[in-house]
Amino acid sequence: MAETNLQVLLRRRPKGEPVPEDFEIVETPVPEPKEGEVLVRAGYLSLDPYMRGRMAEAKSYAKPVELGAVMEGRTAGEVVASRAPGFAPGDTVAGGYGWQRFSVVKAAGLIKVDSQEAPLSANLGVLGMPGLTAWVGLEDIGTPKPGETMVVSAASGAVGQVVGQIGKLRGCKVIGIAGGPEKCRYVTEELGFDACLDHRGDLDAQLDAACPEGIDVYWENVGGAVQAAVFPRFRDFGRMVMCGVISQYNVAEGADSFGGAPGPNLGPVVRKRLRIQGFIVSDNGWPRYPAFRKQMLGWMAEGRMVWKEDVVQGLRNAPQAFIGLLKGRNFGKLVVQVD
Ligand SMILES: NC(=O)c1ccc[n+]([C@@H]2O[C@H](COP(=O)([O-])OP(=O)(O)OC[C@H]3O[C@@H](n4cnc5c(N)ncnc54)[C@H](OP(=O)(O)O)[C@@H]3O)[C@@H](O)[C@H]2O)c1
């Protein structure tokens, strides 16, 4: 029997938390590449929090996924057919598109990866967009210096685990924040952070104990109550790297509001000369990818960068896995092994 494409489509826009009925799984013919394009069979699909934004119609930095279209996403896999110079069947690549088994993509968006250098799935995490996000955000905004105190929320996750390890490589005291004792144990014992605080407990008391000196760099992945606890503890000239606010993604429906929660008093930004800056990795990250990849592969080879993946089996399970990501059910970088 001829192979088919398996696709996960956006059936309707979620209200609050996404539910399985917001997605539709269909089988379609395998597409054919045109001139300059490559047909990629996905080995792994990356599931990332930004996809919640693509499901909503609200104005954002990127267009929403159309209703009935394939959910947006990045895959790593194998070239099946190529009509572009530089790519041949059997090549392993990152940059396939969408929650689907087969995708046709322009060669310009593909990165050839060496499966001897790192496992294929790592190209979606520590060596992929989340790793690049950590690296770019620290270089441009966090600028950690030896002896400084850095706090990282969602510390066991795809971005957080890399941020904290780079912080340690830069000579900082690094405090993670994560949900639950198992994640916290991983963050200290495997990732080498100095401490990890459980945001399900009394975060104020834990922050008082872990960093009485205050905070120089806060890597914000979560927002909401976690941000409210961290913010008053900034030292003079502190930097808050606004990477994401996942606790608000199902609440605020894209509006620039606080999702009903009271916002922080921003007065101390002046008195303490704080820098708060948001960024999107795609703004200026990808042209720097070769430099990032070289440094990251070096750290990995030296055993100075470790990472954890949460691998879900089967593309049909992608919707449930994504719903879980927005509730903290993943432990490490969430990827789907497609077949
Ligand atoms: N600016 C950019 O270019 C860029 C690029 C990539 C990612 N991001 C952002 O970076 C953040 C982390 O992304 P990631 O891919 O690394 O995800 P991740 O950390 O692997 O997974 C998300 C984690 O967020 C935490 N979380 C979820 N809901 C929460 C809630 N209501 N309150 C507190 N914590 C909650 C959970 O960890 P715990 O169980 O430990 O709480 C969950 O495991 C997200 O905000 C994402 O949007 C931004």
Residue ranges covered by each domain of the chain: 4-125+307-337, 130-283
Average pLDDT over residues 23-44: 98
Residues 6+ apart with CB under 8 A from 26: 6, 7, 9
Token duo for residue 331: 């432990």
Q: Distances in Å between the alpha carbon of 20 and those of 209, 319, 324?
A: 42, 6, 11
pLDDT tens digit sequence for 78-100: 999 999 999 999 999 999 999 99
Atom of ligand 1 nearest to the CA of 49: 47
Q: What percent of the chain has pLDDT over 90?
A: 92
pLDDT tens digit sequence for 154-195: 999 999 999 999 999 999 999 999 999 999 999 999 999 999
**CB of 243 shorter than 6 A to ligand 1:** yes
How far away, in angstroms, is 31 Cα from ligand 1 center? 33
**CB of 279 shorter than 6 A to ligand 1:** yes
Going by C-alpha positions, the residue among 156, 176, 161 that lies closest to residue 331 is 156
Confidence of residue 263 (pLDDT cuts 50, 70, 90): low
**pLDDT given at position 261:** 58
Q: Distances in Å between the alpha carbon of 308 and those of 159, 161, 311, 317?
A: 11, 8, 10, 20
Counted residue by residue, the chain has a size of 339
Between CA 203 and CA 207, with CA 206 as vertex, the angle to 5 degrees is: 85
Domain 4-125+307-337 and domain 130-283 have a common topology: no
The answer to whether residues 76 and 120 touch, using CB atoms and an 8 Å cutoff, is yes
CATH classification of 4-125+307-337, choosing from 3.40.350.10, 3.30.450.20, 3.90.180.10, 3.30.360.10? 3.90.180.10
Token duo for residue 194: 């100095």
The answer to whether residues 48 and 129 touch, using CB atoms and an 8 Å cutoff, is yes
CATH classification of 130-283, choosing from 3.40.50.720, 3.40.1530.20, 3.40.225.10, 3.40.1390.20? 3.40.50.720
Q: Distances in Å between the alpha carbon of 334 and those of 106, 121, 149, 199?
A: 25, 10, 28, 20
Going by C-alpha positions, the residue among 121, 23, 128 that lies closest to residue 72 is 23
Cα 188 to the chain's mean position, in Å? Answer: 20
Atom of ligand 1 nearest to the CA of 160: 16
Q: How far apart are CA 334 and CA 311, in angstroms?
A: 6
How far away, in angstroms, is 264 Cα from ligand 1 center? 20
Atom of ligand 1 nearest to the CA of 334: 20
For the chain, what is the largest distance between any 2 Cα atoms, rounded to a whole number of angstroms? Answer: 69
The answer to whether residues 38 and 110 touch, using CB atoms and an 8 Å cutoff, is yes
Partners of 309 in the β-ladder = 333
**CB of 219 shorter than 6 A to ligand 1:** no
**CB of 132 shorter than 6 A to ligand 1:** no
Token duo for residue 20: 């399985």
CA dihedral 214, 219, 223, 227 (to 10 degrees): 0
How far away, in angstroms, is 85 Cα from ligand 1 center? 37
How far away, in angstroms, is 291 Cα from ligand 1 center? 25
**CB of 159 shorter than 6 A to ligand 1:** yes
- Mutational pocket test of ligand 1: of 159, 183, 227, the residue with most ligand atoms within 8 Å of the beta carbon: 159
